[in-house]
Each structure stands twice: as structure tokens, then as C-alpha cells.
Amino acid sequence: MWTDPSIHHPFQSRRDFLHRTWNGIGALGLGGLLADDLRGNDLLAEVPPVPGDPLRERFQMHGRKAKHCIFLFMQGGVSQMDSFEYKPRLRDLHGQRMPDTGVSGELQGRLTFPHECVGSPFEFAQHGQSGRWMSSLFPHLAKKVDDLAFIHGIKTDNQNHGPSTYHVTTGSQFPGHPSVGSWIQYGLGTANQNMPGYMVIQDPRGAPVNGAAVWANGYLPAAYQGTLLRDKGVPILNLSRPHSLTEAEQRREFDKIKRLNELHLATRPGASELEARISAYELAFRMQTAAPAIVDISGEPESIQKLYGLDNDKIAGFGRQCLLARRLVEQGVRYTMVINGVQIGGDSWDHHGKVQDGMIKKSAEVDQPVAALIEDLKQRGLLEETLVVWASEMGRTPFVNGSAGGTPGREHNSYALCMWMAGGNVRGGATAGQTDDYSLRSLGEPIHVRDVHATILDLMGLNDEKLNYLHAGRIRRLTDIGGHVISEIIS
């Protein structure tokens, strides 16, 4: 890595990096390297963040177009054979027992159900130049297929919602690990220091499974946590001034704080963490003035509001989330997580029963806004520099859920998660991975979630092997034992 000449300050090697920094190009050392704050941890990363200024923007490890990432997370487990995977054979077998697929092992518990096949009740058609098959549930997104690259048959390590949600959002099925956005923040910092670099826009109806742990910083420093964008009142917690203070009065108090802290620092020479603290207060002040405008979408033209479906009650919730995501990208926010679905209730994609009704409801919520997001980013020339990722925590089974009565539903299937990406260096129209005729298992070399994570990092200009952190005696990475970058979908 480090060899792409197209990026403006390629560090060919560690020595080169230090040499250039020595010449005043790099930001390293401005705050003073605090060896004790680092404790040796960050030093394993190729370009360590500056202590006391952990969010300062850093260079990519290799040249990629994407500067931002929008991670769309569909809570519950989207049924891949009712959305993006066309399985005519499954439809032929609808209502019949599933043929012996020879599958056993970890899915055993789930496979003791009567294996009655459920064909998709939805029509499929080919779209775009790539001729991708899409179900009729996604008419808007179908018009964008040539911008999307699909990955099929992704495996997660666990088929319960809690662990698999962790797995897709943090790289480990066990809690306590940093989320994807935290790793990217750790690797790249953020361009606009007046806003947190990692924002979360959750479903207005509530939280995902595992709650705030889904956007936690895990063992990485607190600076890399996701910040919840609030849809009512002030957009970020604690942004509004203490009541009854004018901006001038607050400024005055901030100046007093600064003065006291400078006096304090003066008798403690070289205490760079105290210097960093002084500048953190200035950042906080700027954040207070810059951030509130973000959630005020009244200035968006009617055409844009309509594009996202804000004029339709059923769509407006997610539409607003997607529109806010675009506005955050414009503000230089590095990583935005947009969540659809609450826990695993009726508002999620967890369709153990009535998968037909459920998919109609859920796809209607998101189809138009997601397509609008891609359209809107593209029109503004932002899709070039924004990686958009669609994810869920698992796929679903081709056979009926044993416990569900009424119209059929589908069980969890941790072997057949389907995701797509768009923007940046994503090769639109490409496909990676493949599932069998029933979408029960993947065919060929299975793609693991860590491969997807390695690919996301790669598309953000980061190398999953190099982006590491020493914690509790182990060198940690998002991809744990390392992932394979899925080169088929990269242009």
C-alpha cells in the first residue's frame, strides 16, 4: 500500500512519512506526542492519531475517491429472495418439501422445521444495463441498479439478532468492540471539526437491537464514538447554551475559562494534554454554532422534499433520515449510520410470519428514500466521494418458519446475507458472491462479514491489516483475523 501516486501526500514508508512530517507537512506532533496517553496502543496504526486531537484529519493509506460513508442498516434480517435475489426454482417448489441439500451443522437447530419451500410472492424483472433482477418491491431502487454493486451469500457468525447485529456493525458477534464508523474515524479523523465526524440517525420509532452499543467506540478512545443526531430540539446533546445566557455572555465565560486554564498551564510547562483541553473548548464553541442548522430542512426545495417522499406519511420518517444523511455528508461528516427498524418488533424486517405483508410494508418505507439519496448525491456530484452501504444483520431461509401460523414467514439464515454498495470506487452493476438455487447457502468460496468490512475500509482508503490497535494483549482489527477485499466490486 501507500503507493498510489494520485493522493496528495503519499507516505511511501514510515521513514518517508516521518521525513515529510519533519518538513512540516504532517500534523503529527503539533500537540506533542503524549507517550503516556498513547500507552503504545495507537502506535501500531500506520499513522497514529495526534493525541489530544484524535479527530484531526489524516490521510488515506491508499487512494480512494470516497471521503464519506453512509451505512444504511435494515434491522431484522431482510429477506434476500423477496428483494434482490431471483430464485425461480424456489418458486417452482413452493409448498413442497425442500429437496435434500446436504446441509447440516450449525443450522441444524433451524433445520428441524418442516422444510416446506416458500417461493417469493413477488414478481421479478431485469433492470438497467446490468440486467439485474429485482423484485417488484423496489421500483425506485430498480432504476439505480447500474450504480449498485451487490454481494450475495455473506456469512455472519451467529443467527440471533443480538450477536449478528454486533457482527455486521462492529466486526464481532460479541459486544465490546468498536463499530465500523469508529474504526474509520480512528483511521481518517474528520474534515469538519465543527461537527462530530460520526453521526447516527436512528429510526424515529426507536432503537435497534443492542441499543447504543451498535455505534459504540468499544476499546477505542471515546472520541471515536458515534453521536446520535436528535430529530427534535437541538440536534446534538448539550449543544444549547445554558439557559438565560446570550452568545456574548457565553463567549465571555469561555474566555474566562480559557484564561484560568492558561494560568494553570503556565505553571505546568509542556503539559500537552492541558493544551489540548484548551483547544477542545474552542472546538465545542464552534460546534455549538455550526450544528443546529443541520436538522433544519425547511430550506430544502420542495422538489427535494418530494424526492425523498416527505409528502407521504408512510415514507417521510425514513425519507427525512436519508435527507439528513445527505446534509451531513455536505457538512463533511465522515461516517453516518442510518437505521431503519426498531428492535425486532413489527417495525423491523424480522418476518417470521407473513413475510409477504411484512416485505410490502418495509420496502415501501425505504425504497423511494434510498433511491432518492443516491439520485440526490449523484446530482450534487457527491456520490463520487460517498460510499453508500446497504446492510442487514442476516438473510432469511427459503423454507417456512416452523413456529409461524397464517401466511408463511421465513426463519433467520446467517449464511445468506445480501448487501449492496454504491458510490466512490464501487463498480456499479457488479456482483460478488452467489447463493444456491434456494438461497440457503452460498456457492463457491463463502464471503464472510469480515471480507465485507475489509472492502468497506479499502473503499475508504484504509487497509484492514494496518488499521489496528493493541488492546488487552491482542492486536485488534475490525476484521479480526483479516478479511479479503472483494475486488470484483471495486473499479
Partner 1 sequence: MNQIPRPHTAYTTAEIRALTRNLLRGCRCIFTAATLLTVAVESKGAGAAGASGPEDWPYSRPVDAPPPEVKSADRVVNPLDAFVLQKLEATGLTLAPEADRRTLVRRLYFDLIGLPPTPEQVEAFVNNTAQNAYGELVDSLLADPRYGERWAKFWLDLARYADTAGYEGDPDLPHAWRYRDYVIDSLNRDKPYDEFIREQIAGDEFEEIMGAGELPSAKPEQAVALTFLRLAPFTEPRGDETRHEMLSEMTSTVSSVFLGLTVGCAKCHDHKYDKIPMKDFYRMQAFFNTVQIAPPERGDIFQIGGPMPADFYREGEKEWAENKRQELHGIQGQLDTLRADFGKRAGSALPDEKQLPDAKQRADQLDDWISNPANEAITAAERKPFLELKEKLPFVKQHLKRLQPVAMTLRHSFGPPYEPGVPVTRVMLRGEYDKPGDPVEAGFLSCITGNSEPAKIRLDPFKRWPTRSRRMTLAQWIASPENPLTARVMVNRLWAQHFGRGIVPTLSDFGKLSGGPSHPELLDWLAHRFVENNWSLKAMHRLMVSSGTYRQSSVAASDRAARADPDNSLLSRSKRRRIEAEAVRDAVLAVSGRLNPEVFGLPIFPPLPEDIAQRVKYDQSKWATDNGPEGRKRSLYIYQQRTLTMPFMQSFDGLVCEDSVPERRLSVTPLQALEMYTGDLVNEEVKHFAARIIKDAGDDPQRRIERAFAIAFGRAPTTAEITELRDEAASEEKLTGLCRILFNASEFVYVD
If the CB atoms of residues 377 and 391 are measured against partner 1, the closer one turns out to be 391
If the CB atoms of residues 120 and 185 are measured against partner 1, the closer one turns out to be 185
Considering only 127-135, 274-282, 372-380, 445-453, which stretch makes contact with partner 1 by CB under 8 A?
274-282
Options 196, 341, 408, 483; binder of partner 1; rule CB under 8 A: 196
**Residue 442: other Cβ atoms inside 10 A:** 21
Considering only 59-67, 255-263, 310-318, 404-412, which stretch makes contact with partner 1 by CB under 8 A?
255-263
Q: Does 35 bind partner 1 (CB under 8 A)?
A: yes
Spatial distance between the Cα atoms of 415 and 276, rounded to a whole number of angstroms: 47
Q: Does 228 bind partner 1 (CB under 8 A)?
A: yes
Q: Count the helix, strand and coil residues of the chain and give each as a percent rounded to the nearest 5.
A: 35, 15, 50
Q: Does 240 bind partner 1 (CB under 8 A)?
A: yes
Spatial distance between the Cα atoms of 196 and 229, rounded to a whole number of angstroms: 10
Options 103, 278, 304, 360; binder of partner 1; rule CB under 8 A: 278
Considering only 94-102, 179-187, 217-225, 295-303, which stretch makes contact with partner 1 by CB under 8 A?
217-225
List the interface residues with partner 1, window 416-475 (CB under 8 A).
470, 472-475
Spatial distance between the Cα atoms of 360 and 137, rounded to a whole number of angstroms: 7
Q: Does 271 bind partner 1 (CB under 8 A)?
A: yes
Q: What amino acid is encoded at 389 in this protein?
A: V
Q: Which residue from 220, 199, 168, 182 is spatially nearest to 453, judged by alpha carbons?
A: 168
Q: How far is the CB of 490 from partner 1 (least distance, A)?
A: 29
Kindly state the cell numbers that stand for 9: 501526500
**Residue 203: other Cβ atoms inside 10 A:** 21
Q: How far is the CB of 233 from partner 1 (least distance, A)?
A: 7
343: helix, strand or coil: coil
List the interface residues with partner 1, window 108-147 (CB under 8 A).
109
Options 2, 11, 31, 457; binder of partner 1; rule CB under 8 A: 31
Q: Does 289 bind partner 1 (CB under 8 A)?
A: no
Which residues touch 324 (CB under 8 Å, ≥6 apart)?
201, 229, 294, 295, 297
Spatial distance between the Cα atoms of 386 and 426, rounded to a whole number of angstroms: 10
Q: How far is the CB of 436 from partner 1 (least distance, A)?
A: 22
Options 1, 27, 360, 382; binder of partner 1; rule CB under 8 A: 27
Options 125, 212, 293, 443; binder of partner 1; rule CB under 8 A: 212
Residues 369-408 as x/- pattern, contact with partner 1 by CB under 8 A: ----------------------------------------
Q: Does 9 bind partner 1 (CB under 8 A)?
A: no
- Please give the helix or strand (H or E) that residue 272 lies within, else none: helix 272-290
Q: Which residue from 420, 205, 236, 227 is spatially nearest to 320, judged by alpha carbons?
A: 205
Which residues touch 432 (CB under 8 Å, ≥6 apart)?
149, 150, 151, 152, 447, 486, 488, 489
Match 482489527 to its residue by C-alpha cell. 477
Q: Does 1 bind partner 1 (CB under 8 A)?
A: no
Considering only 53-61, 127-135, 319-327, 433-441, which stretch makes contact with partner 1 by CB under 8 A?
53-61
Q: How far is the CB of 73 from partner 1 (least distance, A)?
A: 15
